[in-house]
């Protein structure tokens, strides 16, 4: 009888805790896998939005093979435009408990007026990969930028990262490399 009561309490309490409406302890960032986009997480996000606060502006979109590998400086291959080709704002996130990442995009290739083409996986050039199949270090670099943005907007000191397939590798790259670069007066500095 005592084992049954303990077992009942062990399984019931967590269910009651997670079924209540409220906030997650930290913002959650969902990172999709290879050859995919943020829509991978639609079912999960819809279910969580019944309990957690989610804003309409919770999607972070980037182009990761922007120059098609034409440069040896990978940070130049990561472009995060603030407008789409119609001139509407993108990457304008607001305070939320849930965020999604979308690497399945391309851009107008205009360095003076960069515009993102959402959900367009065009090839940057011959024999080159589309954005959502880019090198893992580019994904980790873009993820760092997104994490910093979420921390700034929410005021949180941590985030929860959830990845599917290659999204998990992007998260691992971010966590392991810690080679987050900041251009400060022309110099690059390492953050530990």
pLDDT digits (tens, 9 = 90+) for 86-119: 999 999 999 999 999 999 999 998 989 999 999 9
65 domain residue, yes or no:
yes
150 domain residue, yes or no:
yes
Which pLDDT does position 178 carry in this prediction? 60
49 domain residue, yes or no:
yes
Which residues in 88-186 belong to E strands, given as ranges? 98-102, 106-107, 116-117, 160-163, 181-184
Confidence of residue 37 (pLDDT cuts 50, 70, 90): very high
Average pLDDT over residues 154-169: 95
CA-atom Rg of the chain in angstroms = 19
69, pLDDT greater than 90:
no
**What is the Cα–Cα distance from 126 to 42, expressed in whole angstroms?**
32
52 domain residue, yes or no:
yes
Which pLDDT does position 122 carry in this prediction? 81
The DSSP code for 133 is G
158 domain residue, yes or no:
yes
The residue segments making up the domain with residue 167 are 25-190
8 domain residue, yes or no:
no
4 domain residue, yes or no:
no
**Structural domains in the chain (count):** 1
CATH of residue 49's domain is 3.40.50
148, pLDDT greater than 90:
yes
14 domain residue, yes or no:
no
Which pLDDT does position 79 carry in this prediction? 92
């Amino acid at each position: 009888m005592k084992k049954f009561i303990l077992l009942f309490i062990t399984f019931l309490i967590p269910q009651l805790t997670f079924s209540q409406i409220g906030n997650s302890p930290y913002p959650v960032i969902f990172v999709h896998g290879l050859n995919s986009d943020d829509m991978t997480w639609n079912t999960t996000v819809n279910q969580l939005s019944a309990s957690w606060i989610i804003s309409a502006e919770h999607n972070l979109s980037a182009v990761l093979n922007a120059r098609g590998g034409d440069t040896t400086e990978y940070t130049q291959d990561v472009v995060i435009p603030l407008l789409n080709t119609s001139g509407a704002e993108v990457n304008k996130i607001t305070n939320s408990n849930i965020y999604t990442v979308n690497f399945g995009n391309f851009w107008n290739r205009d360095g003076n007026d960069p515009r993102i083409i959402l959900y367009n996986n065009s090839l940057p050039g011959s024999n080159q990969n589309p954005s959502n199949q880019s090198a893992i270090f580019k994904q980790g670099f873009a993820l760092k930028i997104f994490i910093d943005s979420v921390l700034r907007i929410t005021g949180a000191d941590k985030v929860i990262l959830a990845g599917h397939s290659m999204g998990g590798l992007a998260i691992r790259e971010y966590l392991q490399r810690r080679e987050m670069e900041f251009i400060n007066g022309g110099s690059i500095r390492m953050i530990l």
